[in-house]
């Protein structure tokens, strides 16, 4: 009987696959045809986030197509980014600024330099491609870079705003140039999205439309490894058994390794490795490493392997109360593309009274964290920008303890809400999408959302815990196929202030279990949804949200591409 069923259903499956492929091709063809049609600059600007400003950017006469306008806007944005960096440098060169102002400007300096890199890369891709040949992952790569540019600019603005008391003159002097830069970058992202991203894909992440069916496949890395097999290979057989390796060093506080600090090992990594060549592996022996570490943008494809959660620990105690910006309070910060961490603990011990105090910040594209823990209180894990994946990790915190504006998927992770200060509520996520065309958002899939032991044992004062709150206007978070415990308030989600973002955010839940998963008493915001189909939920999986099938296999880290 089974053979007969296969024989009769196989042609239907093939026809369905062919039909779906044709629909995708047709959608791209329709988008390409519309983008290639000549239009006036004014018409081209009508669909952008700021049509009036857009008309001041594009040439005022003649007609062209969306492809040309898109390339032109990226070039203008690059020129603007260079001007803005020059202005930041001039402020820093003046001297006499308060430490708070200097710290915020230094963040802006770093972020503006990254924007120049990203715009240069985006422009190079667009200028060397024919009008309609940007397909996945190329179109997604450019949209990711343009999304990150807006995030970087917002982070610069947030830092200056937070340092306002110490930086009034600086903030006011940069206010107009910063606002104009944001408008430039938003217009460029708008025009790129209209020209190169199919309309079906634009609507799929945040509405009931879906651009392709849910994928239920399971990626298992290079060697079809399960989680346990992967750990065994890395621990017992060496990293080369799991992934290609171009070099390997050991960090050991006893002096038995190549280096005694993690920072020195990172500095020794080759610069600008290509992902196709393999990883530079840093093994971190058991110990507590008290240092603040940065993996800079030129240290690409670094893989850091510890001895396990609670064994190889990198710890610091920087906080906003002690004068650091949130961005630069991170104990561990990574910018280098392709970073992988396995079996590590990243910790910030500043404590709840010091408010924002980040354990780890990632602004590294294609970064992966496997069997790691992140421990702090407010703002524990800063998933700042670009594309990220977390598998079988543990995150501990209180207020907004997973926050940022990356395109990020947490899979099989445990998120533990700790006991906050009296009068505080716990919020698991605070997603920071601030433009409707950004391809960013946070997905929790197959995770556990629970109370940490100190919160579970608390009887001193009531503590409400929420799945998230909207940090920015277009905040986007999806919790699916996860276990939610009773610590989560029946309302599920918490407003930021008043009705801010309640109609523009996209918060969704799908097929969750546990006593806190009941959606019957959830918030009634326009932007909150209980997803009703696998097709809708499929848009927020690894395969769709971060295009993980294109880059996760080379990490060797197990992953599920679609729904469980």
Q: pLDDT tens per residue, the chain (564 residues)?
A: 333 333 333 344 334 334 444 444 444 555 667 778 889 999 999 989 999 999 999 998 888 899 999 999 999 999 999 999 999 999 999 888 888 889 999 999 999 999 999 999 999 999 887 666 777 788 999 999 999 999 999 999 999 888 765 566 777 788 889 999 999 999 999 999 999 887 666 556 664 333 444 444 455 443 345 666 655 555 545 555 567 899 999 999 999 999 999 999 999 999 999 988 899 999 999 999 999 999 999 999 999 999 999 999 999 999 999 999 999 999 999 999 999 999 999 999 999 999 999 999 999 999 999 999 999 999 999 999 999 999 999 999 999 999 999 999 999 999 999 999 999 999 999 999 999 999 999 999 999 999 999 999 998 899 999 999 999 999 999 999 999 999 999 999 999 999 999 999 999 999 999 999 999 999 999 999 999 999 999 999 999 999 999 999 999 999 999 998
List of residues 6+ apart from 134 with CB closer than 8 A: 125, 126, 142, 196
- Could you tell me what percentage of the chain is helix, strand and coil, using 3-state DSSP and rounding each to the nearest 5? 40, 20, 40
- Residue 93: Cβ-neighbour burial (10 angstroms; 0-12, 13-18, 19+): exposed
Please count the CA atoms within 13 angstroms of the CA of 91 that sit on its side-chain side. 25
H-helix segments, 258-412: 262-267
pLDDT given for residue 213 in this prediction: 45
| Residue (of 106, 82, 87, 53) closest to 175 by Cα position | 87
pLDDT given for residue 1 in this prediction: 36
pLDDT given for residue 202 in this prediction: 57
List of residues 6+ apart from 178 with CB closer than 8 A: 84, 153, 156, 157, 160
Residue given tokens 């510890």 in the structure block? 306
Give the catalytic positions in this structure. Answer: 400
Strands of the 506-510 sheet, one edge to the other: 245-251, 279-284, 302-305, 340-342, 367-370, 387-391, 407-411, 441-445, 476-480, 506-510, 528-530
What predicted TM-score, i.e. pTM, was given to this entire model?
A: 0.90
Tokens of 298: 């030129």
pLDDT given for residue 37 in this prediction: 86
DSSP letter (8 states) at residue 233: I
What is the rounded distance in angstroms from the CA atom of residue 336 to the CA atom of residue 328? Answer: 16
pLDDT given for residue 35 in this prediction: 78
pLDDT given for residue 97 in this prediction: 86
Backbone angles phi, psi at 54, to 5 degrees: -55, -40
pLDDT given for residue 167 in this prediction: 62
Q: Are 543 and 561 in contact (CB under 8 A)?
A: yes
Cβ neighbours around 345 below 10 Å, total: 25
Cβ neighbours around 187 below 10 Å, total: 28
Distance set, CA 202 to CA 27, 192, 308, 547 (Å): 11, 12, 40, 15
């Amino acid at each position: 009987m089974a053979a007969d069923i296969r024989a009769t259903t196989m042609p239907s499956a093939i026809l369905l696959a062919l039909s779906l492929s044709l629909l995708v091709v047709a959608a791209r063809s329709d988008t390409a045809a519309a983008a290639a049609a000549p239009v006036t600059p004014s018409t081209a600007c009508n669909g952008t986030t700021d049509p009036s400003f857009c008309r001041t950017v594009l040439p005022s006469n003649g007609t062209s197509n969306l492809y040309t306008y898109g390339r032109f806007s990226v070039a203008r944005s690059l020129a603007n980014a260079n001007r803005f960096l020059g202005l930041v440098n001039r402020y820093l060169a003046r001297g006499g600024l308060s430490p708070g102002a200097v710290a915020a400007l230094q963040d802006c300096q770093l972020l503006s330099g990254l924007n120049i890199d990203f715009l240069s890369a985006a422009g190079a891709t667009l200028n060397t491609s024919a009008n309609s040949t940007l397909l996945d992952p190329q179109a997604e790569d450019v949209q990711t870079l343009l999304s990150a540019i807006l995030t970087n600019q917002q982070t610069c603005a947030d830092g200056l705003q937070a340092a306002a008391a110490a930086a009034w003159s600086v903030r006011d002097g940069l206010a107009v140039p910063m606002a104009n830069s944001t408008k430039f970058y938003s217009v460029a992202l708008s025009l790129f999205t209209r020209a190169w991203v199919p309309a079906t894909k634009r609507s799929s992440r945040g509405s009931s439309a879906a651009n392709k069916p849910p994928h239920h496949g399971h990626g298992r890395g290079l060697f079809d490894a399960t989680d346990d097999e992967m750990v065994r290979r890395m621990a017992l057989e060496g990293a080369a058994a799991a992934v290609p390796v171009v070099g390997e060093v050991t960090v050991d506080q006893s002096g038995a390794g190549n280096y005694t600090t993690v920072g020195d090992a990172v500095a020794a990594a080759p610069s600008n490795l290509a992902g196709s060549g393999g990883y530079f592996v840093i093994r971190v022996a058991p110990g507590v490493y008290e240092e603040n570490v940065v993996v800079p943008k030129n240290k690409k494809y670094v893989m850091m392997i510890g001895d396990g959660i609670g064994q190889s620990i990198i710890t610091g105690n920087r906080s906003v109360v002690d004068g650091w910006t949130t961005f630069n309070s991170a104990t561990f910060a990574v910018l280098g593309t392709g970073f992988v961490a396995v079996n590590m603990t990243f910790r910030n011990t500043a404590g709840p009274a010091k408010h924002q105090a980040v354990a780890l910040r990632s602004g590294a594209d294609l970064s992966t964290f496997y069997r790691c823990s992140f421990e702090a209180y407010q703002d524990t894990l800063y998933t700042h920008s670009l594309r990220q994946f977390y598998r079988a990790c543990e995150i501990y915190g209180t207020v907004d303890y997973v926050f940022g504006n990356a395109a990020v998927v947490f899979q099989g992770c445990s998120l533990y809400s700790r006991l906050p200060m009296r009068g505080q509520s716990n919020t698991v996520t605070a997603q920071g999408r601030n433009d409707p065309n950004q391809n960013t958002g946070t997905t929790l899939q197959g995770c556990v959302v629970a109370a940490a032991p100190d919160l579970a044992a608390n009887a001193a004062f009531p503590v409400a815990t929420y799945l998230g709150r909207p940090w920015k206007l277009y905040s986007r978070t999806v919790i699916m196929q996860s276990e939610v415990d009773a610590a989560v308030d029946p309302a599920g989600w918490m407003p930021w202030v008043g009705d801010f973002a309640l109609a523009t955010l996209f918060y969704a839940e799908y097929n969750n279990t546990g006593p806190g998963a009941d959606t019957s008493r959830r918030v009634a915001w326009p932007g909150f949804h209980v997803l009703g189909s696998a097709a809708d939920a499929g848009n927020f999986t690894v395969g769709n949200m971060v295009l993980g099938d294109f880059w996760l296999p080379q990490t060797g880290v197990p992953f599920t591409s679609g729904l469980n």
